[in-house]
Structure 1
Amino acid sequence: MKKNVLMTILFFGVLGALVWNGTSENGTLRKSTSIEPNWAAIAAWPNLNSSSVEAQPDPNRRVTAIVLDDSGSMSKDMHDAKQAVIGALDAMKDDDRVAVVALNSGTVLPFASVAEAKSDLPALLSPIVSDGGTPLTRAIRSAQDLLEAEAAAVRGFGTFRLIVTTDGVADDSEALDAEIETLATSTPIQVTTIGIGIEGGHVLRRADLGSFVDVSNVAALQSALEAAVAENTDFSAITEFGGQGE
């Protein structure tokens, strides 16, 4: 059985039975929801045929898509946020794969080796400015599409991760809620969200669907990103970091 499916079974074996009570962005209590994984969809993922298939894919490779918040609220923090993404590459292996998607600017870096990203990403991020809203749903869909295409090329072998950075609520929280539910229950993609100075509830805080860590400001973002991409697959590093950023 593929390694990513095995990991998903372990991951959802713990989280799939949880019943979640949380608060929405306006502080109201969300209705309890029982989440069950769609094993057939997970086993069939990715649902794509690739024109270029890797002959000997590495089951130990980590494939990570990072969503960068470039919304207008980031303003003075945009430079530091971009530097945090660049710095986080040092916590990855050079032959792992990484892509970067910005909320408003779209795909900044299609999937590349970390070694290539270290060379190319600074120049690619340079023109990104803080502007626009917080279209998290659109950005997460784009990142998911990139991950699915990458998985097709390696026949599903490896660990696939989505790391979202954001400093605010989504433009359409209900759409994002549905998107994250589908992603978490129908794919083996591991979802981690780093919330920058967010107070109250957030749809991405759902502990049954992924991992969430609070950081008080963008100065702590790089450390949180490094913890999220560290050499482990059980979320222990990001959980340990969580107590420091609140």
Structure 2
Amino acid sequence: MRKSTVAVLLIAGIVVLWNLFADLLPFGPGRSAPRDMGAVDWSAIAAWPPLSEGAEVESVPDPDRTVTVIVLDDSSSMSRDFEAAKRAVLQSLDMMGDGDRVALLALNAGLILPPTPAREAGAALAERLRPMAPNGSTPLGPAVAAARDLLATEAARARGFGTYRIIVTTDGVADQPELLAAEVATTVNTTPIAVATIGIGIGTDHVLNAQGHTSYVAVDDVSRLDAALQAAIAENSRFDPIQSFE
């Protein structure tokens, strides 16, 4: 057998084996290599939140309070799904505790609802969501940074007591993936803020799916967003129970 024929057969065999076993690898065709989010800076986490002189501070902060910033994708790609997404956000309030607080931040429209007691947020949030329409791109990086800043201010008021988290809902790729990765790394490595994402119809190959650093669940379409978001709200800091959401 000629050497050229042997080489062709060898290459063909490698391709076949790769296709057979690629799904067993942490990355492969159609998937990105795991992203390095860097190391946790425990001293920065211990010093969080930064306290500013003269800032308002609660006299008796609630250590059991959870403060959630929901980041809502209002980009143009959400045009067919946006009304369902708005309903899902409103329904998620029912899963929050009496002492919890919630804020809503849209990718393009900005801050829709500042941090508000969850039990008082329903009417105001419904009114502010009603006229909203999807428009624009997917600036996830700046949105994560803005959500982190909101939570830092909330935590400073409570002298660091409580649980703080960002829940992102998105159906697309970030405008600047590297910027998003940097903002996520800053968040998970220098603050105690938990970052969770619900990917709508985009699978699991996303910058926000950083195993060991963030929580991520994929839903096939927006019809499952309400249940996934409620399940995320019901969890304090872990997303494990719905990683195989059906």
Q: TM-score per shorter chain, which class?
A: 0.7 to 0.9
User: What CA distance in whole angstroms lies between the structure 2 residues aligned with 1:34 and 1:78?
Assistant: 31
User: What CA distance in whole angstroms lies between the structure 1 residues aligned with 2:101 and 2:244?
Assistant: 29
- Residue 56 of structure 1 corresponds to 60
Amino acid paired to 1:27: G
Correspondence 1:80 to 2:80: no
1:48 deviates by 3.3
Q: 1:34 to 1:80 in 2, by over 3 A?
A: closer
Segments of 5+ residues of structure 2 without an aligned counterpart are 1-24
User: What CA distance in whole angstroms lies between the structure 2 residues aligned with 1:141 and 1:207?
Assistant: 20
Q: 1:164 to 1:200 in 2, by over 3 A?
A: closer
Q: How does 1:12-161 map to 2 (within 5 A)?
A: 27=30, 29-30=32-33, 33=36, 35-49=38-52, 51-161=55-165
User: What CA distance in whole angstroms lies between the structure 1 residues aligned with 2:50 and 2:225?
Assistant: 33
CA contact 2:64–2:162 (8 Å) conserved in 1: yes
Amino acid paired to 2:96: M
User: What CA distance in whole angstroms lies between the structure 2 residues aligned with 1:229 and 1:217?
Assistant: 19
Q: 1:167 aligns with which of 165, 171, 178?
A: 171
Q: 1:195 aligns with which of 195, 199, 215?
A: 199
Amino acid paired to 1:209: H
Q: 1:23 to 1:107 in 2, by over 3 A?
A: farther
Amino acid paired to 1:160: Y
Amino acid paired to 1:41: A
1:22 deviates by 5.8
CA contact 2:231–2:242 (8 Å) conserved in 1: yes
Deviations 1:8-64 (A, max 9, x none): xxxxxxxxxxxxx9659x936436637421011101111132621100001010010
User: What CA distance in whole angstroms lies between the structure 1 residues aligned with 2:176 and 2:83?
Assistant: 26
CA RMSD, Structure 1 to Structure 2 (Å): 1.9
User: What CA distance in whole angstroms lies between the structure 1 residues aligned with 2:135 and 2:97?
Assistant: 32
Q: Percent identity?
A: 48
Amino acid paired to 1:38: D
User: What CA distance in whole angstroms lies between the structure 1 residues aligned with 2:122 and 2:37?
Assistant: 41
- Residue 5 of structure 1 corresponds to none
User: What CA distance in whole angstroms lies between the structure 2 residues aligned with 1:35 and 1:126?
Assistant: 40
User: What CA distance in whole angstroms lies between the structure 1 residues aligned with 2:237 and 2:229?
Assistant: 15
User: What CA distance in whole angstroms lies between the structure 2 residues aligned with 1:195 and 1:143?
Assistant: 18
Correspondence 1:243 to 2:244: yes
Q: Which has the larger Rg?
A: 2
Q: Secondary structure at the match of 2:208?
A: helix
Q: Report the TM-score, using the length of structure 1 for normalisation.
A: 0.84
User: What CA distance in whole angstroms lies between the structure 1 residues aligned with 2:128 and 2:35?
Assistant: 42
User: What CA distance in whole angstroms lies between the structure 2 residues aligned with 1:80 and 1:28?
Assistant: 29
Amino acid paired to 1:73: S
CA contact 1:68–1:103 (8 Å) conserved in 2: yes
1:207 deviates by 1.1
User: What CA distance in whole angstroms lies between the structure 1 residues aligned with 2:34 and 2:89?
Assistant: 35
Q: Report the TM-score, using the length of structure 2 for normalisation.
A: 0.84
CA contact 2:71–2:167 (8 Å) conserved in 1: yes
User: What CA distance in whole angstroms lies between the structure 2 residues aligned with 1:99 and 1:64?
Assistant: 6
Q: 1:175 to 1:37 in 2, by over 3 A?
A: same
Deviations 1:169-210 (A, max 9, x none): 100001101110111010000110000000361101111211
User: What CA distance in whole angstroms lies between the structure 1 residues aligned with 2:243 and 2:199?
Assistant: 10
User: What CA distance in whole angstroms lies between the structure 2 residues aligned with 1:28 and 1:218?
Assistant: 22
Segments of 5+ residues of structure 1 without an aligned counterpart are 1-20
